[in-house]
């Protein structure tokens, strides 16, 4: 029974900005874990039929959502649903389930549960954020198939506008809710880069995820306030609280409209320093949104999505066309394409055997690519071919040693030589840079700066490796902060080394999209930041309100502080005072 008292405040992850007030629609679905059950031989064919039919029903549900998304929304949403369909069409994956039914004589529900759960756990162990979030896709599909096997799926039907509260929602659920009367979304589970969150942001549906136990605090019809900008849900708000958030909502809507209108303008500090705000993307069809917010280019094009959930590897030609499309759409603005940054067991299962005890420190990204040069050269050739207009640069992730840089440069030149010999046009002067995300690179940043054309600081891994903190582990996640004084020193060292070597330096990690961090980054000497496109209007607004002198003053104030808490408090105070008339509290 939910607590009847007023103003129960729950904190989660701010996933999609906006404020909504409305009744709760509690979506409670059957998620029963099937018990192990052996079946007699005579029932094997029936169980196989049931399994195949449940897969077909799941495909039909997602296909229907895909068609709606393709016709009404376009952009990245249909591609996300395509990825889910690709998982359900993966014969290797599905055959593993059928094999369990046939050889182990497990019933279809338990075989499905075992294989989907195993794949989810494998993905959760991958150090790359993108791949860990794909574990949620697998979990959503698991329950969709199991619901079909164990009694039928109950669709979500909203009879009136409401805030949907659930343990979790799938991307297809989110699309279908948008077709109805959803005001906002609040879930126990979910991460900032989950496909469901990406869709919610694309559809401008305010959302808070990672609330852990919100389903225990609400009942159908309870009034809720949901603040997707700050990650707050208030259950049974008092009339005073409702009035306060209605005022905030009106202010948010007016500010959001103004931010979008202003976002196409250049971002310069009040004293004239140009700060370039670029976008991070995962799919080529995000370009429409990127251009809408006036991004100064693509600072990070993650290529992992091209490789995963495929029966065969993408050809050089297929990759070339994808990269070329992005380069043409963005021309003359720059496009930085990152080579694949996931472990080999997830894209080359026929090559990679066994599980790693510590994948965060394991066989991934450039380490894997250098061991499989043919596949790596194919991607490098595609990137070079995409640079016919000269606005593409290639970025290598997870570099930890100069030996790796030397090997990459050798393969890069080999790819160029092959293209020359074959008479295929490409960008001869394509810049080659590295992600600065491992402390060993910062320690030797002066040496690395002499060997590459640019640096891009990846704060997500830099924080993780510097502080020895896995931010996906709830027991230690509170220690993870890009405002830790050691992290700030490393960033400054990397920037200084790049400046001394006269090479460009940018930042594409999560810190680059944190408005509170902008003054510090400007003071450190960064003039190029790359963030999710939804953050670009706000980032540009922040830049336009600052002067370099103000940035340097606040940086001087915090650089001698010794604790993360002191630094965050000082910066947040500066930000709230500086922008009290620009952004709502």
d(CA 314, CA 306): 7
508 counts as catalytic: yes
Answer whether 276's CB lies under 8 Å from 296's CB. Answer: yes
Q: What is the DSSP letter of 37?
A: -
482, 508, 533, 551: which one is catalytic?
508
Q: What is the DSSP letter of 100?
A: I
CB atoms within 10 A of CB 41: 8
With H, G, I as helix, E, B as strand and everything else as coil, classify residue 207: strand
Which H or E run includes 233? Answer: strand 232-235
Nearest to 153 by CA among 49, 45, 37, 56: 56
Rounded to the nearest 10°, the torsion over CA 13, 129, 440, 484 is 0
Q: Which two tokens stand for residue 269?
A: 């500090």
Answer whether 534's CB lies under 8 Å from 572's CB. Answer: no
Quote the crossing angle between the two packed helices 171-178 and 76-88, to the nearest 10°. 140
Helix%, strand%, coil% for the chain, nearest 5: 55, 15, 35
Answer whether 507's CB lies under 8 Å from 526's CB. Answer: yes
Say whether the peptide bond before residue 332 is cis (omega within 30 degrees of 0).
yes
Cα 47 from chain centroid (whole Å):
37
Residues in a beta bridge with 11: 232
CB atoms within 10 A of CB 350: 6
Residue 250: partners with Cβ closer than 8 Å, 6 or more residues away: none
d(CA 89, CA 97): 13
CA distances from 505 to 3, 127, 325, 495 (A): 52, 24, 25, 6
Residue 259: phi and psi, rounded to 5, are -60, -45
The secondary structure of 5-48 as a DSSP string is SS-EEEE-EEEE--EEEEEEEEE----PPPPP-B--GGGHHHHH
Q: Which two tokens stand for residue 95?
A: 């055959």
Count Cα neighbours of 373 within 13 Å in the Cβ-side half-sphere. 10
Lay out the sheet containing 182-187: strands in order across.
8-11, 232-235, 223-227, 19-27, 162-166, 182-187, 207-209, 13-16
* Helices assigned H by DSSP within 333-458: 344-347, 365-371, 373-385, 402-422, 439-443, 445-449
Nearest to 275 by CA among 450, 517, 485: 517
195, 222, 484, 533: which one is catalytic?
195
- Residues with catalytic annotation? 195, 508
């Amino acid at each position: 029974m939910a607590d009847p008292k007023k103003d129960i405040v729950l904190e989660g992850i701010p996933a999609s900005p906006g404020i909504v007030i409305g009744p709760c629609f509690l979506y409670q679905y059957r998620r029963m874990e099937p018990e192990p059950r052996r079946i007699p031989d005579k029932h094997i064919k029936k169980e196989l039929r049931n399994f195949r039919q449940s897969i077909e029903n799941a495909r039909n549900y997602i296909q229907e959502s895909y068609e709606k998304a393709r016709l009404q929304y376009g952009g990245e949403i249909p591609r996300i649903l395509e990825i889910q369909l690709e998982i359900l069409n993966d014969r290797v994956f599905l055959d593993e389930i059928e094999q369990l039914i046939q050889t182990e004589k497990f019933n279809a529900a338990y075989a499905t549960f075992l294989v989907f759960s195993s794949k989810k756990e494998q993905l959760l162990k991958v150090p790359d954020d993108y791949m860990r979030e794909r574990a949620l896709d697998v979990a959503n599909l698991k329950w969709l198939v199991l619901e079909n096997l164990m009694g039928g799926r109950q669709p979500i039907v909203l009879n009136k506008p409401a805030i949907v509260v659930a343990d979790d929602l799938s991307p297809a659920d989110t699309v279908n809710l948008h077709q109805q009367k959803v005001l906002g979304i609040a879930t126990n589970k979910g991460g900032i880069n989950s496909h469901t969150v990406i869709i919610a942001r694309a559809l401008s549906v305010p959302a808070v995820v990672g609330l852990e136990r919100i389903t225990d605090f609400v009942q159908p019809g309870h009034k809720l306030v949901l603040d997707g900008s700050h990650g707050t849900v208030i259950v049974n708000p008092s009339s005073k609280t409702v009035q306060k958030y209605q005022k905030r909502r009106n202010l948010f809507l007016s500010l959001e409209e103004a931010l979008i209108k202003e976002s196409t303008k250049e971002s310069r500090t009040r004293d004239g320093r140009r700060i370039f705000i670029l976008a991070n993307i995962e799919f080529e069809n995000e370009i429409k949104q990127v251009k809408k917010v006036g991004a100064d280019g693509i600072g990070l094009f993650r290529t992992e999505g091209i490789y995963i959930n495929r029966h065969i590897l993408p050809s050089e030609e297929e990759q070339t066309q994808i990269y070329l499309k992005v380069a043409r759409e963005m021309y003359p603005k720059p496009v930085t394409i990152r080579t694949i940054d996931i472990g080999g067991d997830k894209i080359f299962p026929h090559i990679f055997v066994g599980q790693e005890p510590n994948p965060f420190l394991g066989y991934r990204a450039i380490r894997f690519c250098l061991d499989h040069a043919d596949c790596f050269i194919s991607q490098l050739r595609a990137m070079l071919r995409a640079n016919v207009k000269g606005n593409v640069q290639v970025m290598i992730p997870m570099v930890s040693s100069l030996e790796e840089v030397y090997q990459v440069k050798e393969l890069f030149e080999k790819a160029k030589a092959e293209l020359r010999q074959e008479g295929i046009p490409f960008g001869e002067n394509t810049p080659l840079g590295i992600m600065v995300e491992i402390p060993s690179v910062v320690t030797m940043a002066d040496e690395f700066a002499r060997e590459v054309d640019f640096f891009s600081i990846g704060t997500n891994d830099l924080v993780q490796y510097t502080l020895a903190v896995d931010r996906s582990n709830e027991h230690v996640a509170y220690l993870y902060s890009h405002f830790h004084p050691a992290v700030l020193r490393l960033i400054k060292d990397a920037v200084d080394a790049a400046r001394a070597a006269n090479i460009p330096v940018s930042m594409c990690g999560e810190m680059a999209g944190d408005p509170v961090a902008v003054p510090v980054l400007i003071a450190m000497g960064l003039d190029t930041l790359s963030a999710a496109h939804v953050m670009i209007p706000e980032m540009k607004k922040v830049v336009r309100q600052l002067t370099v002198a103000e940035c340097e003053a606040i940086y001087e104030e915090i650089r001698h502080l010794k604790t993360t808490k002191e630094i965050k408090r000082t910066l947040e105070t500066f930000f709230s005072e500086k922008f009290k008339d620009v952004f709502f509290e």
